[in-house]
């Protein structure tokens, strides 16, 4: 990792800084209450910061959950102006590394069926499609629902 990029754990004081990224990345984003409930206890997450100048910039973040020996990627976001630069892959790799360090043997995630770029990132990292949840996500257009693809990765 380039030495000006740094991962730091997410805490409650980060919510106000991360919510604009959450809102920009999802058609149906988490609200602040949901986000806050996914910090601490069985949840873990980190933000990726660019510290190359005097005012550090948050590039993205992930939130994971660990239950016994299984981790779930709950959320992963990259600031839209920074997408396409490999930061999603860096966040995913960090999540996998942290899940492994916490004792996870298997990782789970769900991704929108239409989000091909995310699916390719997960496939390239070694995830495989396990199943499909029909009509799981509200559609981004606001009409109807979209399938979720369930993927897993064995550590």
Binding-site residue ranges for acetyl-CoA: 115
Q: Is 145 a catalytic residue?
A: no
| Confidence class for position 1, pLDDT limits 50, 70, 90 | very low
* Average pLDDT of the segment spanning 49-72: 93
* Average pLDDT of the segment spanning 19-26: 95
48-57, 77-86, 143-152: the lowest-pLDDT one: 48-57
Binding-site residue ranges: 115
Q: What is the pLDDT at residue 36?
A: 96
Give the residue carrying structure tokens 């995630």: 109
CA dihedral 17, 20, 22, 25 (to 10 degrees): -140
Please identify which of the residues 110, 136, 137, 146 carries the catalytic annotation: 110
* Average pLDDT of the segment spanning 68-77: 98
Q: Is 122 a catalytic residue?
A: yes
> Exposed, middle or buried by CB within 10 Å (0-12, 13-18, 19+), for 149?
buried
Domain 5-154 sits in CATH at 3.40.630.30
| Confidence class for position 2, pLDDT limits 50, 70, 90 | low
* Average pLDDT of the segment spanning 37-55: 92
Q: Euclidean distance between the first and final Cα of the chain, in Å?
A: 22
Please identify which of the residues 122, 129, 136, 137 carries the catalytic annotation: 122
């Amino acid at each position: 990792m380039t030495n000006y990029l740094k991962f730091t754990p997410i805490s409650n004081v980060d919510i106000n800084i991360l919510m604009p990224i959450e809102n920009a990345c999802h058609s149906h984003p988490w609200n602040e209450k949901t986000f806050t409930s996914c910090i601490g206890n069985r949840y873990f997450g980190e933000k990726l910061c660019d510290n190359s100048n005097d005012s550090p910039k948050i590039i993205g973040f992930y939130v994971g959950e660990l239950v016994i020996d299984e981790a779930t990627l709950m959320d992963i976001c990259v600031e839209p102006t920074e997408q396409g630069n490999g930061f999603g892959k860096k966040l995913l790799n960090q999540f996998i590394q942290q899940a492994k360090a916490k004792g996870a043997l298997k990782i789970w995630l769900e991704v929108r069926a239409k989000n091909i770029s995310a699916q390719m990132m997960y496939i390239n990292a070694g995830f495989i499609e396990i199943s499909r949840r029909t009509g799981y996500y509200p559609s981004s257009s606001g009409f109807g629902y979209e399938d979720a693809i369930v993927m897993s990765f064995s550590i």
